[in-house]
Structure 1
C-alpha cells in the first residue's frame, strides 16, 4: 500500500495471527501453570480499555514517561541526529509526537517507520502522522518483532524507540534474546531509546494494575472474550477474578485471572478442554520492574551499551539511550 509519502509493507503471511494465536494458547493453557501472552489483550475493545487505563490516577507509567520526553526530547534529538525514527508498536501517541517534534525541529528527521503486527493500527497511525507532518515520509511495516526483528533499510542514523516499558512483558531469557536481536539489527550509528518502569513500593505498583474503578480488571477479562470469538471457546469471564500481585523474587507485577470455582472450559478450534480448579490462575501478563545497574548489565550482555539514563522527577520511570557495543 502506498499513498504519496505513506507506504505500508506487510511482511507477515496471511495466516500469521491465527497460527500464532493457536500456538500460544495451546502451549500456554495446555499445561500448568497456565499462562497467556499479553499480546492478545489488544483487540479493538482491549485497545480502547488500555487507553482508559493510561488516564487512570493509579497508572503513573504513561505520565512519567511523557514527563521525561517533554524535558529530554530536544536533547535526544541533538544526541542522535536521527534521520529515521523507527518505533516498535504503532505510534500515534502523544509520546511519539514529542520525539517527532524534536527531531523535525532539529532538522534531521526524514522518515518515520513504525512496526506492528496490526494492519489497522499502522494504517491509522501512519495516516495521522502523514497528515500532521506533511514533509515526513512514513514507512510502516507489518511485522512481528517478537519472533523476528527485521528493521526497515532506512537511511541512518536511525533512532529505534521501544517505549511504555513494554520490555517488562518479557522475562529475563526473552529480554536477553530480544536485546541480542537488537544489537545485531542496529548499525554503528544507530541508537536505541528504551522505556523502563523502575522498582518502587509494591503497593504503588499493584495499584497501577488493579485500579479502584475496575478498568484493568475488565481489560484483563477481555482476553477471554478474544479467545471465545477467535477460537470458539466458552469462557465465562464473570467466573474469573482479576488478580494483580507483586512477585518479590523476580521483581515483577503479575496479572492473573483466577477461577472462582471448579469449571470446564472447551476450546473447540484447538480440540482442547481445560479442567480448572477453584482458585487456579491463568497468568495473563508479566510486568517486570527494573533497577539501573541490573538493566544496564542485561543490556551489556545483550550487546548494547547505555550512554544516557534519565528519570522523571519522582524517579518512577527511566528512559535510556543505548548503542551497539
Structure 2
C-alpha cells in the first residue's frame, strides 16, 4: 500500500438538494397539525457551534459517556470486527473516529459520509496528517436517502454514533436499519450508538440546560428558515420546551409560541398562523433499552453480538452483523 494514499471525494447529493429538502420540510411540516420541523435544520454554522458547546455542558452526558466507551472498548471493537474499512455515517468533524483509528492496526480505508463537503474536507486533512497511510474516500451524501459505498477492502465496519438514530421516528429507524443491512456483506458489522432510558430529571436537564444553550440551539432552526427562505420568524416570540414522553420513551424538543402570530415565508408563498401556546416540534430523541435495540436490529436482519455501556450505564454501543438464515 502506498504511504500516501489519495484523498477522494464523491458527491452523490445534488448541489440544490439541501435547498429543495428545506423547502419541502418547511412546507409540509408547517402546514400539518401538530406542526413539525426536522432536527437536521439546526445544523448551519451557528447551530453546529452551539451543539459543540452543548456537548461540553455538565448536564449533557451523552458525548462524554460515548467517548468513555470508545476509549475503553476500541481495542475490543477492532478485535471483534477485524475491519479494514471504517464507514462513518454523519461523520461531521470525525472527532470520535480518532478513538477507533488508533486501535485498528489493519485499517486501510476510512469512508466518512456527511451532507457537508467543508466538514468532510476539514476532517480529512486532519486525519490524513495523523494517519498518512490511511486512504480517505469521503462521500457528500444524505445517508437517510440511500447510499452506495465505494469499493474498499473488507471486512467493513459501519459506525453510526452519537445516539443520532434516536432522532428518527420508529418507521424511519426501521427503514434506515434495513438500508444499512443492505450495505453489509457477510463478515461486516454495524457499530451503533444509543442513549439509554434513565430517570426523567437527568433526561430533561440534558435537553434544557441551565445556561440556555440548548434553547438557543433549538431556536436557531427559526433563524435558518428566516435566512434561507426569507421568513420573518421572531425567535424571541417562542420559548424552548423539553418534555419526556414515558410511553414512547423519547424526549421531545419543541418551540412554544408565546403570542398569537402569523409568520410569512415568501419563498414558499406561505403564511403560517400560530396560536398563543401552540407548539412546533423540532426534535424527537428516543432512548433505548437493550432488548429494544436487539428487536429493532433483528427486524432489519441484523444480529446483536456485543453490547457495551459506560460505567454509569447511561449510553450504549452495540455491535451487530448480518443475521444468518
TM tier, smaller: over 0.9
1:252 to 240, 245, 250: 250
Cα deviation, residue 142, structure 1: 0.5
Cα deviation, residue 120, structure 1: 1.0
Q: Distance in 2 between matches of 1:153 and 1:272?
A: 45
TM-score of the superposed pair, with normalisation by structure 1:
0.96
Which residue of structure 1 aligns with residue 208 of structure 2? 210
- Whether the 8 Å contact between 1:83 and 1:108 is mirrored in structure 2 is yes
Cα deviation, residue 155, structure 1: 1.4
Which residue of structure 2 aligns with residue 186 of structure 1? 184
- Whether the 8 Å contact between 2:178 and 2:300 is mirrored in structure 1 is yes
Which residue of structure 2 aligns with residue 10 of structure 1? 11
Q: Distance in 1 between matches of 2:182 and 2:135?
A: 25
1:267 to 261, 265, 268: 265
Cα deviation, residue 92, structure 1: 3.0
Which residue of structure 1 aligns with residue 120 of structure 2? 122
Cα deviation, residue 203, structure 1: 0.7
**3-state SS in 2 of match to 1:257:** strand
- Whether the 8 Å contact between 1:92 and 1:128 is mirrored in structure 2 is no
Is 1:303 equivalent to 2:304 in the alignment? no
TM-score of the superposed pair, with normalisation by structure 2:
0.96
- Whether the 8 Å contact between 1:196 and 1:289 is mirrored in structure 2 is yes
Which residue of structure 2 aligns with residue 40 of structure 1? 41
Q: Distance in 2 between matches of 1:94 and 1:223?
A: 24
1:124-147 Cα distance to aligned partner (Å, 9 max, x none): 111111122111111100111111
Q: Name structure 2 gaps, 5 residues minimum.
A: none
Q: Distance in 1 between matches of 2:290 and 2:192?
A: 12
Which residue of structure 2 aligns with residue 221 of structure 1? 219
Q: Distance in 2 between matches of 1:161 and 1:23?
A: 29
Q: Name structure 1 gaps, 5 residues minimum.
A: none
- Whether the 8 Å contact between 1:5 and 1:130 is mirrored in structure 2 is no
Which residue of structure 1 aligns with residue 161 of structure 2? 163
Q: Distance in 2 between matches of 1:50 and 1:73?
A: 25
Cα deviation, residue 164, structure 1: 0.3
- Whether the 8 Å contact between 1:92 and 1:129 is mirrored in structure 2 is no
